[in-house]
Chain A
Amino acid sequence: MKSSFVQETGVRPAPYMNPYLAGVGIGLVLLTAFVVAGRGLGASGAFASVVSFAVNLVSPAHTADNVFYQKYLSRAAHPFQDAIFVGVIGVMIGGFTSGYFAHRVARTVEKGPNISDKGRFVLAFAGGVLMAFGAQLGRGCTSGQALTGGSLLNLGSWAFMLSVFAGGYGVAYFFRREWK
């Protein structure tokens, strides 16, 4: 089964951009966000916004006296009015556009050769749950804390960022069969 997005022309995927150049690109995007919007980048907030909106639809009584939900509900009545959510939609558009023109759009499961698709999906879901929990506990994610707070030399952001690397290196050995 082939997705309609798969390039069938036999064109090889373009090589990735030089990492330092891509880093400068992301840095300039982040700087633009500071200069224009007065805030950095974010991703995890978009998910929190959607969750708050969904819970509020089902049970307004439950969200009414909950500080977490109210924080996101007071910011935007609907996720599409939330700047971070709209930004994440932009990330999808930008990422797809870049991948499309570099012939990298394909239907595939990213994993090592020693794990089944199903196993990979289970671990992907488990990893996502951990990331969502960690992002809420740490007040941000790789975008909001590490990149944005890191560039402002925010102490908590640097503690968070170094902990992300420590956590990743700490479990990498135990999940090597997922990737290698």
Chain B
Amino acid sequence: MTAPLISTGVLDPSYTLPISLLIGIGFGFFLERAGFGSARKLVAQFYLTDLSVFKVMFTAIVTAMVGVAVLSRAGFLDMEQIPLIGTYLVPMVIGGLVLGAGFVIGGY
């Protein structure tokens, strides 16, 4: 297993912060390209006038999911090294409901 590059020692952990910055820049770039710098466009998802949030989110999830599955099956990416958030259904459902309400009220 070669990846995750930092966990396996291919890349020194001292690169964590600059890499986080670059990944953040890429994330922010595509979010804005999609129109998610605009609260009205984001919230339009919940008035069914613009389904961009749904389209972008699920395309991103499927893209990353396929990539992870292929790289893991190929023996390149060690899934054991990627931390998963534990399952706490009740707080997660309530937290999701509250965050979703805040999303529409706050606009982001």
8 intermolecular pairs with C-beta atoms under 8 Å apart: A37-B20, A38-B3, A93-B21, A123-B107, A131-B103, A138-B99, A160-B93, A179-B43
Give B residues with C-beta under 8 Å from A.
3-7, 11, 16-17, 19-35, 37-41, 43-47, 52, 55-65, 67-68, 71, 76-77, 81-89, 91-108
In the A-B complex, list the 3 residue pairs whose CB atoms are closest, starting with the nearest: A127-B106, A90-B24, A138-B95
Residues on A with beta carbons closer than 8 Å to the beta carbon of B24: 86-91, 93-94
Interface segment among A3-11, A49-57, A58-66, A169-177: the answer is A169-177
Contact B96 A83 (CB under 8 A): no
CA distance A157 to B68 in the complex (A): 17
Question: Binary interface profile of A, 12-36, with partner B (CB < 8 Å = 1, else 0)?
Answer: 0000110110111111111111111
CA distance A156 to B83 in the complex (A): 13
Q: Would A134 and B95 be within 8 Å (CB), given that A151-B68, A154-B85 are in contact?
A: yes
Give A residues with C-beta under 8 Å from B.
16-17, 19-20, 22-41, 81, 83-84, 86-99, 102, 104, 110-112, 120, 123-147, 149-157, 159-172, 175-176, 178-180
CA distance A167 to B76 in the complex (A): 38
Q: Would A27 and B64 be within 8 Å (CB), given that A19-B55, A175-B105 are in contact?
A: yes
Which of A124, A155, A168: most chain B Cβ within 10 A? A168
